[in-house]
Amino acid sequence: MNQRYNVELVNRFLKYVSFDTQSSEEAADQCPSTEKQMALARYLTEELTALGLEDVEMDAHGYVYATLPATKGKEQVPTIGFIAHMDTSPDCSGKDVKPRIIENYDGSDIRLNDEVVTRVEMFPELLQHVGEDLIVTDGNTLLGADDKAGIAEIVTAMSLLKANPDVAHGKVRVAFNPDEEIGMGAHLFDVEKFGCQWAYTMDGSEVGELEYENFNAASAKIVIKGRSVHPGYAKGKMVNASIVAHEIVEALKSELPETTEGYEGFFHLTAMSGNVEEASLSYIIRDHDRTLFEQRKEEIETLAKEMNEQYGEGTVGVTLKDQYHNMLEQLEDKPHITDIAKEAIREACGHCNVIPIRGGTDGAQLSFRGLPCPNIFAGGLNFHGRHEFVPIQSMEKATQTIVNICKLVAL
């Protein structure tokens, strides 16, 4: 047995990434958005049952729930939960993932295959993990640490607590859900059945991080109707929908994901298509500040109005849809939830780094549904692409953080 790391944890993770669980934006009106996510849900149901957890259940939509009962004398301790998502990003294939373990990483560039190299110059976070054991891809797919690392950590922590009944803890609930990557993971989550006073998603990134501020988020679908006329006779008559779309893109290009950081918000163009007669733009809108968030939505509506005044009423139509809001609104009056997480992380990692999420988690939506739910690191880095990797030691510390939280709540 390899003594460098927890083999049970690693083997569990490697098993999970063998399942292709990529979700689909195109099928977001059904849950799960891809039937293949159900295979991992069924496997987890069987695994949790074999571990001896109770109330193990998989519902018709692939949500998996289970219970670790309280140890003797701790039945009155608050019931808490841990949550992770099963799907992987639509941005990169998760089929036939072939992970590789690099033991005692030496700080050099990592050649994933003949064509793909993870270079330290481009990914300097690698240098924070010299001497550790990294799980990487073969350069053809993403890895799936987002969020199968979180699942592996939760299940391993439950296994550890189950095998060590002398470690006192209250009732612990775990849940694994589909479709987080397309913003739908919390929609059919049964908060009442989960029955927790609060929970934590294990869906963060770098080791030691805790997140309880996230973006306010909305989507914007912009449809442009043009007027096609023979180009030889088009003067004063043609309205080229693709040109109007280009003008909209130009007007919104000052604040983009690639030019912002920290608490700065942005407009992100996720898709565009078009011809002379019709074009469409898909945006996501993000800002930590609720007032600035509302102003961003108003900016898009104002831009559409201006275009309609210039090109004719009905040329540009906008559909805005809120996706989630900043969980801090639901957590700032409940400091014990984050204080416990901070202490647990410090015990496991030696430090705790509180950062805002430049994105969102299922916990953001759940927090507004009555389940306060900060986000804790799972350890993976460079999500959603071929350069994704996870240090095994980070996964071990995340597992220990879960155990620490259970112990602290029971004090």
**Per-residue DSSP letter, 395:** H
- Alpha helices of 180-327 — where are they, by DSSP H? 191-194, 241-251, 290-311
C-beta separation of 266 from 286 below 8 A:
yes
Q: What is the pLDDT of residues 103-143, one digit of tens each?
A: 999 999 999 999 999 999 999 999 999 999 999 999 999 99
Compute the distance between CA of residue 411 and CA of residue 408 in angstroms, rounded to an integer: 5
Q: Are strands 216-225 and 278-287 parallel, antiparallel or unpaired?
A: antiparallel
Compute the distance between CA of residue 216 and CA of residue 385 in angstroms, rounded to an integer: 24
User: Both tokens of residue 392?
Assistant: 């095994």
Point out which residues pair with 389 in neighbouring strands: 136, 381
- Residue 98: pLDDT band (50, 70, 90) is very high
Q: Which CATH class is domain 223-324?
A: alpha beta
Residue 180 falls in the annotated catalytic set: yes
Quickly count helices (H) and strands (E) in the chain: 10, 17
Catalytic residue among 47, 87, 132, 203: 87
CA distance between the termini of the chain: 35
Residue 332 falls in the annotated catalytic set: no
Q: Where are the domains of the chain?
A: 7-213+326-409, 223-324
- Following DSSP, what letter does each residue of 178-194 receive, concatenated? S-GGGT-TTTT--HHHH
Query: Is residue 153 scored above 90 in pLDDT?
Result: yes
Q: What is the pLDDT of residues 215-240, one digit of tens each?
A: 999 999 999 999 999 999 999 999 99
**Which residue is associated with the tokens 């049970």?**
8
Catalytic residue among 20, 146, 180, 181: 180
Point out which residues pair with 381 in neighbouring strands: 389
Query: Is residue 1 scored above 50 in pLDDT?
Result: no
Query: Is residue 243 scored above 50 in pLDDT?
Result: yes
pTM for the structure as a whole: 0.88
> pLDDT value at position 123?
97
Total residue count of the chain as it appears in this document = 411
User: Both tokens of residue 259?
Assistant: 């030019």
Shortest CA distance to 373 belongs to which of 212, 215, 170, 217?
Answer: 212
Q: Supply the mean pLDDT for the chain.
A: 96
Buried b (16+ CB within 10 A) or exposed e, 133-158: bbbbbebbbbbbbbbbbbbbbbbbbb
What value does the mean pLDDT take over residues 358-386?
A: 94
Q: What is the pLDDT of residues 159-178, one digit of tens each?
A: 999 999 999 999 999 999 99
User: Both tokens of residue 165?
Assistant: 């009944």
Structurally, what CATH architecture does the domain formed by 7-213+326-409 represent?
Answer: 3-Layer(aba) Sandwich (3.40)
What value does the mean pLDDT take over residues 332-337?
A: 97
Dihedral of the CA atoms 391, 395, 400, 405 (nearest 10)? 120
What value does the mean pLDDT take over residues 303-332?
A: 96
> pLDDT value at position 2?
57
Compute the distance between CA of residue 129 and CA of residue 133 in angstroms, rounded to an integer: 8
> pLDDT value at position 381?
97
Query: Is residue 319 scored above 70 in pLDDT?
Result: yes
